[in-house]
Each structure stands twice: as structure tokens, then as C-alpha cells.
Amino acid sequence: MSGEGQAGTVVAGLFETENAETARGSRAPLPRPRRWSPSSWILPAYAILAFIFLLIPIAYTFIFSFNDSLKSNISWRGFTFDKWLNVCAVQNGAVCEAFANSIVIGVVATVVATILGTMIAIAIVRYRFRARSGISLLLFLPMATPEVVLGAGLAAQFLAFGVPKDMLTIILAHTMFCISFVVVTVKARVASLDPALEEAGRDLYGSPTQVFLRVTFPLLLPGIIAAALLSFALSFDDFIITNFNSGSVMTFPKYIYISASRGIPAEANVIASAVFLFAIALVLVAQISQAARRRKLAKQG
């Protein structure tokens, strides 16, 4: 298949650079004592293979988002930008609708889980109360329990209480498993916060609300943001728990899973690639701004 052929070219390219570097290395003023010892190539080769293994699915998804496919998107039929330009056109916008549902569920579940989880984390670290360590342990359980068990159990309860399955049940389910991750992430941040800072805030005429808003919250913010991003990522690509509790509501992972049997449309590849590129862009922006800030600090001395 041509897709694999392209991947092959990329791989070949990588190997060429590697060979070129080895060649340059051998021309260096200090020649290596053993030129072809296994240690000089096993590690690089292993690293390259590992990266290929990790990146092939992403590369495939990205490349096939440009495929001029008809119904199924398995064989390469030619390059086109159509799928990127008309993402919502296929199947009356089913892809986009599923995507929008996933975004709404992810955002709502993240906001609720982050608020509740942060409150729990502060309570667990800062206050001594009965069954405190027991509660800490119980909060770990959802992370350790297999998702199938959580999803099926929750679905059974919704059925038993006659709750109709829709967006709300999905949001409830996602909030449930996200809270644990938020608590664990924010807890670490709260524990590293010097209690003297809050005391200084109170000592400097800050009322409890002012101390929370001006001192505690800004200092916890990096941890809270990390927790929120983690929650959103978990919620956005959750399939198992969602599938048990969604009824007829379509989310993006569920849509992909269902359409996999009859061929995933290239529009799904477009959305998946866009999400991936967005994440990469976010990381790059963060890295660049951090580097710029470090340079600025270094200049100040």
C-alpha cells in the first residue's frame, strides 16, 4: 500500500541521516577504537524502531486525512484538500456532531470535576478529620478499577433508577472518573504549598476569601490547569464508560468505533489530525514562551 510506502520512505530517510552521521563521525580527528562495535548502532537503531512504532498510527491518520476516498478510507486514491475543507459535509454532519458532543461533554465534565476535585484535594491536605486516609484511598479506587467495571456498574444503576441515558448521564460518568485524577494532581500541589504563605496573607489583613483568591488559588493554578487538561483528555477519548452510559448520543470515539466496521470516513481522520496538531501547537507555544521568559530572567540577572 502506498501509505506504508510513504512511511517506508520516511524511515529510509531517517536511516540515511543516521548513516551520514556515522560517516562524519568516522572522519573526526579522533578515530573510534572499534568502528562497528554493536553498542554504537544497537541503541540508535532501537530508538528509531521505537519511534516508528509509536508514530505510525498518527502518521497514517494524518496522511489519510488527505485521501480522496469515497465511502471507506482504506486504500489510497489520490491527494485532496476536500476533506479538510468540507469536514461537516459527510453523512449530514455526523462526524462534526459527534465531535461537538465530545467537546461539550469534555468541557462540562472537566469544569465540574476540577472544581470538586480541587475542593477535595485542599480538604484532604489541609484539614484533619475522621476517615481522612480512608477517603484518600477510596478516591484512588476509580483509577485502579477497570473501566468496563465502572461503566457497566454505573449503567446498571442508571437503569435501576430509571434515568434515561443522554448527554447528562455521560457527563456524570465522566465527572466521576475525572475527579480522582484531579484530586491526585492538585493534592500534590497543595502539599507543596507552604502553609506560612496563607498565614502571611491572613496576617496582612486578608480575609479568608481574599487569602484564597489572592494567595492560595494563584499558587495552585498550575496544578489545577494540569488537572483540567488531564481531565479533558481523559473525557474526550473515553470510549468504554461512554458506550455503557450514552444511549443514542454519539461521541467522537463512539462514532469512530461504530463506523470502523463499514469504513471510517476521511473526515474523522481530519478531526483526529486537527486535534493532534492543536495539541502539538499548544505544547510548542508553552515551550517557546517558557524559553522566552527564561531568557528574560537571565538578562535581568
Which residues contribute to the site for another protein (CB under 8 A)? 128, 132-133, 194, 196-197, 199-207, 210, 214-215, 218-219, 297, 300
User: 193: Cβ–Cβ under 8 A, 6 or more apart, which residues?
Assistant: 216, 219, 220
Q: Which is nearer to another protein, 204 or 283 (CB)?
A: 204
Q: Quick one: 91 or 136, whose CB is closer to another protein?
A: 136
Residue 217 CA: distances (Å) to CA of 119, 161, 211: 11, 38, 8
Work out how close the CB of 138 gets to another protein at its nearest, in angstroms, rounded to a whole number: 16
Helix (H) or strand (E) holding 77: none
Q: Within a 10 A sphere around the Cβ of 285, how many other Cβ atoms? A: 10
Q: Which is nearer to another protein, 160 or 298 (CB)?
A: 298
CB of 230 to another protein, least distance (A): 22
Q: In this complex, which beta carbon is closest to another protein, that of residue 86 or of residue 210? A: 210
Closest to another protein by CB, 85 vs 298, is 298
Closest CB 196 distance from another protein, rounded Å? 4
Shortest distance (Å) from residue 199 CB to another protein: 5
Q: Least separation, in Å, of the C-beta of 124 and another protein?
A: 11
How many other C-beta atoms are found inside a 10 Å radius of the C-beta of residue 145? 13
How far apart, in whole angstroms, are the C-alpha atoms of residue 168 and residue 61? 31
C-alpha cell at 130: 475522621
Residue closer to another protein (CB basis): 173 or 220: 220
Question: Which grid cell sits at 7?
Answer: 512511511
Report, in Å, the least distance between residue 183 CB and another protein: 16
Q: 16 or 199: whose CB is closer to another protein?
A: 199
Cell numbers standing for residue 186: 492538585
Beta bridge pairs of residue 67: 79
For the chain, the straight-line distance linking the first and the last C-alpha, in angstroms and rounded, comes to 57
- What's the angle, vertex CA 240, arms to CA 235 and CA 244, rounded to 5? 105
Angle between helix axes 38-64 and 266-300 (nearest 10 degrees) is 120
Tell the smallest beta-carbon distance from residue 200 to another protein (Å).
4
Helix (H, G, I), strand (E, B) or coil at 79: strand
